[in-house]
Every structure is written in structure tokens, then in C-alpha cells.
Chain A
Amino acid sequence: HLERKIEDEFQSFRVAHKPHRSDCRDVVLDLSNMTNQTIKLGSGLRQDSDAISAMRAGKFSYSKPNKYWVESSHKRYIPRTEDHVLGIVVDYKADNFWVDIKDSAFARSCIRRSDTKKHSQVGTLLYLRVVKTNIGMNPELSGTDASGKASVFGPLKDGFMFETSTGLSRMLLSSPTCPVLEALGKKLSFEIATGLNGRVWVNAAAPRSVIIVANAIMNSETLSATQQRIMVEKLLAKISD
């Protein structure tokens, strides 16, 4: 589903003629041998007349056949349709809820089409899906999947929610399972909901497990795969005595 998300906001760019190669820019990818092909630009890249430049610091990524984007990790979230996010209810009026999803432009103001009124308490944590995003308006969220059933969405009870960067959320959702979750899953049983907006919710039978999982995830921000496994082992060793 991540593939589909990127597809939506890609703009097409046609390599019309040999791009003017000015010496004052770092050329990361020379497109002059790709004349007359259409390439798609994702987040972090912009078209400046006949040159494409990066808008953000990040990793320049490519996916076949013709998609390019710059991947970066920040604290602010930019809503995209079909993202799964964790929101906190801040207000409710009539049959719309106002939910905070750490959005850049509209803090605390994302409408959720309410299907049931019983989640009307301010402060409830909800697992939601972004339905519509328009550049000048509050994004719209929904507590059901595309077919109208509640499935995994809705309020999250008990457990513990903490905030992370968007890059870390993406890592937690990547497949194959990221090393931290894999290592933790071997020894502990827990439930986890990750929002692409930089929020993660963890629940387990014992509070000790919840704390271990939360700490392990927060520590894994800048660690490589092997380092993550070592870190998780160290943490687990502490509770096994």
C-alpha cells in the first residue's frame, strides 16, 4: 500500500530535450540520455523549468520503472490519502470529530466522518485512515476501511502511545519486518499500531513488556539492523533475571 501512496503524488515530467547542464549545480543523476521519456517525481523533488532539483535533504531514491523521490524523516507529518495514522480526538461537533494527527498545516483540525458516536470522548486515541487531502483544507479521515467495515480501525484502548519521527514509523511498517520488531517478537507478545504520522501505540499484558517495547523502538532511531538486534537483546536480558 506504500507503493500506491507514492503513486498518487507523483507528477510526471517529460524529459523533452537535453537538459542544460549548468556547472553550478551538483548533478546527482544525469538525465540527458533519457530524452523523450516520462519520469515521475515524488516528494522532495521539484521541477524548475527544465531542471529538476531537490527541495529537501534526504536519500535520493528510485523505483522501477521511472519513479524518483527524496526520502527524509522529520517530526511533522504531511497527510496523504490511504495513510494509516493515529489521531487524538480534540473536539466534537454534531456528527464530525476534530482529530489531531500532527499535521503541518492544520494542527488539531482534521474532520473525521463519525460512524458511531460512542467514541466521542475528547482525548481518545484512534487508528484512522486518511481519506481526502486538499492543499487548502483540513484533511478528512475515516474510521472504516474502503468497504465501510471497521476492521482494524477505531479506538485503541489501554496501552501506551509515544511519538517518533516519520522515518521511524516507515521503518516499523516496512516489510520484511524490521529488525527491532522481529527481535522483540521472538521473546515478547505485544500488540502494536503504527501511524505514518509519527505516532506508535503499544499494548501488552504486562506493563514491563510495554515499556521494553517502547524503549526499544525509541532507541532504534539511528541504529543499523545488527545494532538493533544487539540493543534488543540487552534490554531483554535485563527482564529475564
Chain B
Amino acid sequence: MEYVNPEGLRLDGRRFNEMRQIVAEVGVVSKADGSAVFEMGNTKVIAAVYGPREIQNKSQQKNGHALVLCEYSMAHFSTGDRRRQKNDRRSTELSLVIRQTMEACILTELLPHSQIDIFLQVLQADGGTRSACINAATLALADAGIPMRDLAVSCSAGYLNSTPLLDLNYVEDSAGGADVTVGILPKLDKVTLLQMDAKLPMETFETVFALASEGCKAIAERVREVLQENTKQLEYRRAA
């Protein structure tokens, strides 16, 4: 099957280094301390953050650090066939992966004896859900005012028809080629997440990784813009 036609256009008309359209909004769940919706093309994710609040389960308490809990779940209507069961292995794995990514980015030592809950719900899944979740979680954490080192952003890239492709959608993802998901802290220039399915030769991997990192930087710009817009609305509220 041809994923990149001879003119260099993919199945949805994008070029190899074009991302899908990003739509992001902050403050969508009024009951949560922080929340965000993040869309990458057709993939749509809601993140809600509750915290910092008192630890519910004292046995999980970490000495001098906040406890970060993350739950990833897909709505039953998120994919074409309604088949998701609660706590299936993929959800557990993604919850763990996203928790570790966000934990590296939150300044947990400033909030001892507290717990931060991140809830991620995928409303529409079209490839790149884990990246969309990390981006949504970053926005939600910033909305909640939780101190962070940097804005963790994530993007995926793959390799099909001998071309590295940025931001795979579901069809391209299930084509059997490699799928590299990268999560970075853009201003600190550090990698917090790196996952890959399938195999790639080293040189190709480096190209694909570089492409995904570029995508991450572009997402970081967008995330920053959304947060700045939100902050501007606070402008005339000043302490005396």
C-alpha cells in the first residue's frame, strides 16, 4: 500500500514533515483544578488535574515529594469498534508512561504530603493518543498552577515507504512500520520519553527521532501561545 505517493503527499494530503492541525483549550472542566482539551487532527483528548490535595492513601506517600497519579482511559466511542475494557494492558502501560513523563517535569519536592491526580480521557482516537495526552496533561497542570520545570510536549514520527513521516494518524500507525514517540522538555532540551515499536536501522532512527523532536518544538510553541492567551485574561487583576 502506498502511504506516500510519488509527489510526496500522504494519505491525508500532508507532506512528510507536516503535522496535523492542533486545537487546544484550557479550563474546560470547571470542577477540576486544571483542565485542557488537546486535539491533533482527529485525535481528541481531555485532561483534568485535581491537586495538589491531601494524600488519600497514606501508604503510597513518598518522603518529601508529591505523589503523582495518572489514569489514562479511552471512551468507548473513541474508536470505530466499541471494545475497550477497563484496565486493559495498553491503558495501564500508557498510564504508567505518562505518569513518569509528567513526574519528571513537576517540581514534586515543593509540594510534600500532597497528591496530584491527572485524568486523561481519549474522546476520539486517530493515532498519536499518547502524545496528545501528554500535551493535554501539560496544559492542564499549567492551568492548575502546579510548579513545573518546563512544558513537557510530545510528538510521534514513523518511517513508511522509505520516508520519515511526522505525526502519524491511525492508518499510518497500523501500517506495520516503526512508530517513534518522543517527549521532550523544549527549553531545557531534554528528552523525557522515547518509545518505539518495530525496528529501525540506527541512521534511520536518528532521522526519525530528529523529525519527531522538531514536531515537539512546534507543539511547544502552540502550547505556549495558548497559555499566554489564558494569562492575558488575568492582566487587569492585580494585587495592590
Q: Which residue of B lies closest to A61 (CB)?
A: B238
- B94 at the A interface (CB under 8 A): no
Q: Would A175 and B34 be within 8 Å (CB), given that A46-B107, A136-B112 are in contact?
A: no
Please choose the segment from B50-58, B96-104, B124-132 that sits at the chain A interface, where 4 or more of its residues have CB less than 8 A away: B50-58
- B198 at the A interface (CB under 8 A): no
If over half of B's interface residues share one DSSP class (helix, strand or loop), that class is named, otherwise mixed; here it is loop
- A55 at the B interface (CB under 8 A): yes
- A187 at the B interface (CB under 8 A): no
Give A104 to B108 CA distance when docked, in angstroms: 13
- B92 at the A interface (CB under 8 A): no
- B188 at the A interface (CB under 8 A): yes
B42 to chain A, nearest CB (A): 28
Q: Would A107 and B107 be within 8 Å (CB), given that A71-B238, A170-B239, A171-B238 are in contact?
A: no
B69 to chain A, nearest CB (A): 15
Q: Would A59 and B235 be within 8 Å (CB), given that A104-B111, A105-B113 are in contact?
A: yes
Give A175 to B240 CA distance when docked, in angstroms: 6
Give A165 to B53 CA distance when docked, in angstroms: 16
- B22 at the A interface (CB under 8 A): no
Chain A contacts for B199, CB-based, 8 A:
none
- B157 at the A interface (CB under 8 A): no
Candidates A59, A109, A174; contact of B234 at CB < 8 Å: A59
List residues 182-240 of chain B with CB under 8 A from any CB of chain A. 186-189, 227-228, 230-231, 233-240
- Chain B contact-residue range equals 35 or more
Give A105 to B33 CA distance when docked, in angstroms: 13
Flag if A107 contacts B54 (CB, 8 Å): yes
Candidates B52, B228, B230, B233; contact of A104 at CB < 8 Å: B52
Flag if A73 contacts B234 (CB, 8 Å): yes
If over half of A's interface residues share one DSSP class (helix, strand or loop), that class is named, otherwise mixed; here it is loop
Flag if A225 contacts B236 (CB, 8 Å): yes
Mask: chain A, 66-85; 1 = CB below 8 Å from B; 0 = not: 00000111111000000000
List residues 67-122 of chain B with CB under 8 A from any CB of chain A. 107, 110-114
Flag if A109 contacts B188 (CB, 8 Å): no
Chain B contacts for A74, CB-based, 8 A:
33-34, 143-145
- B142 at the A interface (CB under 8 A): yes
Q: Which residue of B lies closest to A105 (CB)?
A: B114
Flag if A46 contacts B114 (CB, 8 Å): no
Mask: chain A, 10-31; 1 = CB below 8 Å from B; 0 = not: 0000000000000011100000
Flag if B114 contacts A73 (CB, 8 Å): no
Flag if B54 contacts A109 (CB, 8 Å): yes
- A213 at the B interface (CB under 8 A): no
- B176 at the A interface (CB under 8 A): no
Flag if B188 contacts A24 (CB, 8 Å): yes
Show the binding face of B for A, using Cβ within 8 Å: 33-34, 51-54, 107, 110-114, 142-149, 186-189, 227-228, 230-231, 233-240
Show the binding face of A for B, using Cβ within 8 Å: 2, 6, 24-26, 44, 46, 53, 55-59, 61, 71-76, 104-109, 135-136, 167-168, 170-171, 173-175, 222, 224-225
Interface pairs A-B: 3 shortest CB-CB = A74-B145, A55-B147, A105-B114
